[in-house]
Amino acid sequence: MAYFLALPAILFAAAGNLPAQVRHPISGRVIAPVMGASGADWLVRPEREAEENPELAIKLLNFQPGMAVADIGAGVGYYSLKIASLVGHTGKVYASDIQPEMLRMLRKRVEKAKVRNVVPVLATETSTGLEPGVADLALLVDVYHEFSRPQAMLKSLHQSLKPDGRLVLIEFRKEDPTVPIREEHKMSVATVKQELEPEGFVLEKVLPDLPWQHILIFRKAGYTSP
């Protein structure tokens, strides 16, 4: 019984043909469906630079040579490739995704760019696929709201991070009705906090600088800055 209670509540639409809605068991948030490989073009659309300003996001996160970064839900590696040059040959980007097709496209882009420090990793619904304690920073850009098993994934992320590691979520701002993204693909700061804090993370900072998204930086509970 406890096993069933731990799973997200599933609500079936009355019409029967509509897809079932999966909700987070604590917040009640409707979990968004995973973006399929046909969404890959949207991830590399030319307007993305202006709409999301990823260069600013990367600057604010202060990547340093030698860092091990886990790009979780990396898609086709839009962020992985940008970060790879900053962490350099002494660092690494683990590009983890649940879809083999996304990883196939990512590998092609990595090869074309002749980048050697991006390591593709096949994740599952409940695991990052990474070794324990490997990452200085885990980055989830437009991904967390798609996790079908968010609590299990957060447990796995907790294990994948070093004791002083940062967990960073970049999510479209639910608080802002002018952000032109479907509701289930947006997240508010309050909901993210409500879902992450019971899983052993503490919100350290919210950066509001991006046009449409907020950057939420978490640490493991119990971490004290030196």
216 in contact with ligand SAM (CB under 6 A): no
117 in contact with ligand SAM (CB under 6 A): no
Judged by CB under 6 A, the number of residues near ligand SAM is: 22
74 in contact with ligand SAM (CB under 6 A): yes
Which DSSP helix (H) or strand (E) runs through 131? none
34 in contact with ligand SAM (CB under 6 A): yes
Beta strands in 26-81 (DSSP E): 68-72
135 in contact with ligand SAM (CB under 6 A): no
**What contacts 62, CB < 8 A, 6 or more positions away?**
none
**What contacts 71, CB < 8 A, 6 or more positions away?**
77, 79, 80, 83, 93, 94, 95, 96, 139, 141
**What contacts 52, CB < 8 A, 6 or more positions away?**
210, 211, 212, 213
79 in contact with ligand SAM (CB under 6 A): yes
99 in contact with ligand SAM (CB under 6 A): yes
Residue from 61, 130, 138, 153 touching ligand SAM (CB under 6 A): that is 153
**CA-CA distances (angstroms) from residue 152 to 11, 96, 129, 137, 195?**
20, 16, 12, 18, 12
Cβ proximity to ligand SAM, 112 vs 224, nearer residue: 112
70 in contact with ligand SAM (CB under 6 A): no
Cβ proximity to ligand SAM, 75 vs 91, nearer residue: 75
Span 173-212, contacts to ligand SAM by CB under 6 A: none
Residue from 141, 196, 215, 216 touching ligand SAM (CB under 6 A): that is 141
DSSP string, 185-207: GEE-HHHHHHHHGGGTEEEEEEE
Binding residues vs ligand SAM (CB under 6 A): 34-35, 43, 72-75, 78-79, 96-99, 102, 123, 125, 141-143, 146-147, 153
